[in-house]
Amino acid sequence: MATICITGGTGLIGKALTHYLSAKGHAIIILSRSAKNSNQPLVSYRQWNPENGTIDEKAIAETDYIIHLAGAGVADKRWTNKRKEEIRKSRVDGSALIVKALNEIPNKVKAVVSASGIGWYGPDKKNAFAETDPAYQDFLGITCEEWEQSIEPVTKLGKRLVKLRTGIVLSNDGGALVEFKKPLRFGLAAVLGSGKQIVSWIHINDLVRMYEYALENDQLNGAFNAVSPNPVSNKDLTLALATKMKGRAFITMPVPSFALKVVLGEMSIEVLKSATVSAAKIRNSGFQFLYPSLDAALNELIA
């Protein structure tokens, strides 16, 4: 079994990956700002601090693969100028420290799998977005571009690099699905804006399997969209979720675009943006989705 080092291991995706990969028998090293004891036999915590440029050298020396997830949550706070800089800097600084560590510390790392986001892409165009499309020149597009560029130098060190541009992750443990569920506690299905905007999503179980696939498949290099092959509209997602949870006992509640802009500020652009992102490249490489349709995903999550 391999030793896998995970940055951002305490977040939604990091926790799911730690559970999944350790259950397969892999040793997991989670890089954290504060080292702590673990109650899981195959999981350990080591210190790093991207702002100070410090990292546990033994962690790098022991590692076979690195999964780089670290970055301030995009949707956690309102996008002030200060917050946007935190989002950008947390990603770029973390990547820079990994590159520096791999360059300076003797290691056996075979590959780095780095998170990225479908924020790389802009509003929908004629065809679904593919990995060859350029980064859109707005805040998230530029941030994703800098994020990917900042980890790219590991390839010059002889490390295979895979970048997973992740869509909206559906999980019961956090993220968008939890937010969609909140109004349904009161029997309200909140359709955002026109509801016509396309949501490119992925089930958390498929996402962790895709990370494993990227680690194990020596032929994979470069960027891949981590989204299901069947994106849906915001309205269809909301009503499908409402039906699974409430049957017919709910009321559809449109949330006007102007209200979202008042509450969310600049972040509302992403909530209202339609982004149809293609999963063709990862599927053509041989990856098989367990939950390719929204119905299959919600059946598992709401069960």
Pairing of strands 232-233, 198-199: antiparallel
Helix, strand, coil shares of the chain, percent, nearest 5, are 45, 20, 35
Contact 66, 98 (CB under 8 A): yes
* Residue found under tokens 């509003």: 123
Q: What is the pLDDT of residue 303?
A: 78
Three-state secondary-structure class, residue 143: helix
Of 205, 198, 232, 231, give the one whose Cα is nearest residue 287: 205
* Per-residue pLDDT tens digits of the chain, which is 303 residues long: 999 999 999 899 999 999 999 999 999 999 998 777 777 889 999 999 999 999 999 999 999 999 999 999 998 999 999 999 999 999 999 999 999 999 999 999 999 999 999 999 999 988 999 999 999 999 999 999 999 999 999 999 999 999 999 999 999 999 999 999 999 999 999 999 999 999 999 999 999 999 999 999 999 999 999 999 999 999 999 999 999 999 999 999 999 999 999 999 999 999 999 999 999 999 999 999 999 999 999 999 997
What is the model's pLDDT at position 89?
A: 95
- Region of 109 on the Ramachandran plot (φ > 0 left; ψ -120 to 50 alpha; else beta): beta
Which residue type sits at 111? Answer: A
Record the tokens describing residue 221, joined without a space: 């290099």
Q: Which residues pair with 114 in a beta bridge?
A: 68, 163
Tell me which residue of 70, 10, 1 sits closest to 42, measured CA to CA.
1
User: How many whole angstroms separate alpha carbon 123 and alpha carbon 155?
Assistant: 31
Domains of the chain: 3-168+201-228+277-290 (3.40.50.720)
Dihedral, CA of residue 224, residue 162, residue 237 and residue 234, to nearest 10: -70
pTM of the model: 0.96
Rounded Cα distance, 154 and 96, in Å: 10
pLDDT of residue 41: 87
- One-letter amino acid of 45: Y
Residue with tokens 């053509």: 284
Q: What is the pLDDT of residue 40?
A: 82
| CB atoms inside a 10 Å sphere around CB 9 | 22
pLDDT reported for residue 21: 98
Q: What is the pLDDT of residue 279?
A: 98
Contact yes or no for 234/193 (Cβ under 8 A): yes
| Inter-residue contact 31 to 95 (CB < 8 Å) | no
